[in-house]
Amino acid sequence: MDIAATALAIQSGDRRALARAITLVESARPDHRAQALELLAALPKEKQALRIGLSGTPGVGKSTFIEAFGLMLIAQGLRVAVLAVDPSSARSGGSILGDKTRMEQLARAPAAFIRPSPSNAQMGGVARRSREAVALCEAAGYDIVLIETVGVGQSETVVAQISDLFVLLLAPAGGDELQGVKRGIMEMADLILVNKADGDLAAAAQRTRADYAGALHLLRRRAQDPDGYPLAMAVSAYTGAGMPEAWAKMQALAAWRRENGHWDLARAAQAKHWFHEEIRQNLLASLMAEPLRGILDGLGDAVARGDLRPELAAARALAAMGRG
């Protein structure tokens, strides 16, 4: 890959160059990693998009929502990128075709860029490739980057760490989908949107909205939460009801955080977090290669069985590494 040419192409809006670059950062091969770092170094750091994390389990209507939301933003003249964080094997149906078939209209829009789930990726490494894909989309000049997840494993935590706002999409209670929200996720949200507030489910959607509004009201406000946030709203991606209002709330929150310094603080904290995380991952991976890996696994199993205390097992492991 000609790094300099690719960097220029990305910045000039070349979608194929962006797609190739995202494929590059998804690769764990050492030569690809080296190129990825070179490419990131060649791209300007100043361009910031509004990064919106969106979590929603299968059945809440996430694709319909993203299409409606994306088309609304494009109609306002914005450029929108949509990234899926989970590997396709982790998503319902594991479709390699992915979301483009469910967001056909958005996929065709020149101002939109939709990246399907990586089909060959493992869950590990999801943090790095997601973070870097977001950075590439920002450098490519997209105004909004939507980072979506179905909520497997620790994906919401990863998404929250690479987003400016976190939105949780739910279906009205009483339907077929998984009941309730996974622990820890409700409290991450800046905005909870109850979808399908139309037709037969309209009343249920309003009740569900009220339930979540009540729960959010119990949370202590953090410094980065202005009056009225977090909040729960009912929307219909199908009819469009509530969509402009939800977007207005997101914009208002982003604007408030920019004005009050929380935007920069959060971005700085996230960057520092990833710096340390990257070091940790790299160090631990290199130190825990074979034959040490086998020793560690054996000690870990002994600890899990209750045959050996954790701190004693750790002392033995460190001794095996020539440390402690």
Residues that bind its own copies (CB under 8 A): 36-37, 40-41, 45-46, 128, 131-132, 135, 178-184, 186-188, 211-212, 214-215, 217-222, 267-269, 271-272, 274-276, 278-280, 282-284, 286-287, 296, 299-300, 303-307, 309-315, 317-318, 321, 323-324
CB of 282 to its own copies, least distance (A): 5
Can you give the three-state secondary structure of 49-62, one letter per residue?
CEEEEEECCCCCCH
Q: For residue 245, what are its two tokens? A: 């209002």
5 contacts: CB under 8 Å, gap ≥ 6: none
Rounded Cα gap, residues 59 and 47, in angstroms: 35
- Which residues face 83 on adjacent strands? 115, 147
- Output 109 or 266, the one with its CB closest to its own copies: 266
CB of 304 to its own copies, least distance (A): 4
| Phi and psi angles of residue 76, each rounded to the nearest 5 degrees, phi first | -90, 5
For the chain, what is the radius of gyration of the CA atoms?
A: 21
- Output 78 or 288, the one with its CB closest to its own copies: 288
**8 A C-beta contact, residue 61 and residue 195:** yes
CB of 46 to its own copies, least distance (A): 8
- Output 75 or 268, the one with its CB closest to its own copies: 268
- Output 96 or 178, the one with its CB closest to its own copies: 178
Q: Which letter does DSSP use for residue 287 in this model?
A: H
With CA atoms as reference, report the closest residue to 316 among 304, 297, 305, 306: 297
Cis peptide before 110 (omega within 30 of 0): no
- Output 176 or 305, the one with its CB closest to its own copies: 305
CB of 186 to its own copies, least distance (A): 7
Half-sphere exposure in the Cβ direction for 312 (13 Å, CA):
7
- Which residues face 232 on adjacent strands? 192
- Output 175 or 240, the one with its CB closest to its own copies: 175
For helices 30-42 and 126-139, the axis angle rounded to 10 degrees is 30
CB of 221 to its own copies, least distance (A): 7
- Output 259 or 307, the one with its CB closest to its own copies: 307
CB of 154 to its own copies, least distance (A): 14
CB of 266 to its own copies, least distance (A): 11
Half-sphere exposure in the Cβ direction for 153 (13 Å, CA):
16
CB of 223 to its own copies, least distance (A): 12
Collapsed DSSP state (helix, strand, coil) of residue 147: strand
51 contacts: CB under 8 Å, gap ≥ 6: 134, 138, 144, 145, 147, 162, 163, 164, 165
- Output 79 or 209, the one with its CB closest to its own copies: 209
CB of 77 to its own copies, least distance (A): 27
- Output 178 or 248, the one with its CB closest to its own copies: 178
